[in-house]
Amino acid sequence: MNMPRTQLNVVDVEATCWEGQPPPGAVSEIIEIGLTVVDLERRERIAKHRVLVRPRRSRVSEFCTELTGLTQEEVDTGVEFAEACRILLDEHRSDSRPWASWGDYDRHQFERQCKATGVRYPFGRRHTNVKRVFTEARGLRRRPGMAEALEIAGFPLEGRHHSGADDAWNIASLVIDLAEKGAWPED
């Protein structure tokens, strides 16, 4: 079954993090993948997904819990990283559907983690940096964070900031706004 070319996956990840340097031997690992499917033609968010991922080489710090709301106990119920990538491929057609994220952090985090674990990179080459497109479309001098961009666009922050699922949902609203203004790049 072919998906309409107007669908876009908006992805936001949360990863283990620390205030300052990571503990010895620990590396930043994806612990949540938020994904919102956008129908660019209809200009609407059509699905919101969340995949929790169990870290293997790090633990969720107190700082990370304060930032993301995620606890070690919660992410322990998640899937392995390889399974999360399989879900992206099988359920969200991530290798053939274009995708977008706020900045390049999410893309780089996937690239690093896939290389480190030997897991197939789950995305195709059609990635759009929403932060860059938003900044250029608005003629801004510096690239704002997602929450500031929502303020600039006059949109509320829906849900919890630094929740992958909620951030993907919010980024998707900015994508739709850019598309409505004719500023979203063509496929």
Model confidence over 45-67: pLDDT tens digits? 999 999 999 999 999 999 999 99
The Cα–Cα gap between 51 and 57 comes to 18
What is the domain partition of the chain in residue ranges? 7-180
Assign domain 7-180 to its CATH superfamily: Ribonuclease H-like superfamily/Ribonuclease H (3.30.420.10)
Tokens coding 115: 């290389």
Is residue 133 classed exposed, middle or buried when 0-12, 13-18 and 19+ CB atoms within 10 A define those classes? Answer: middle
Find the mean pLDDT for residues 60-77: 98
Find the mean pLDDT for residues 111-139: 98
**From start to end of 135-181, where are the E strands?**
none
Handedness of CA 181, 183, 186, 187 (dihedral sign): negative
Tokens coding 58: 């790090």
97 close to 124: Cβ distance less than 8 angstroms? yes
Residue by residue, DSSP assigns 113-161 as: HHHHHTPPP---S-EEEHHHHHHHHHT-SSPPPHHHHHHHHT----S-T
pTM, 2 dp: 0.95
Query: pLDDT class for 1, splitting at 50, 70, 90?
Result: very low
Phi and psi angles of residue 81, each rounded to the nearest 5 degrees, phi first: -60, -40
Query: pLDDT class for 186, splitting at 50, 70, 90?
Result: confident
Nearest CA to 175 among 101, 103, 124, 64? 101
The Cα–Cα gap between 67 and 55 comes to 17
Whether 187 has a pLDDT exceeding 90, the answer reads no
Please provide the size of the chain in residues: 187
Model confidence over 18-54: pLDDT tens digits? 999 999 999 999 999 999 999 999 999 999 999 999 9
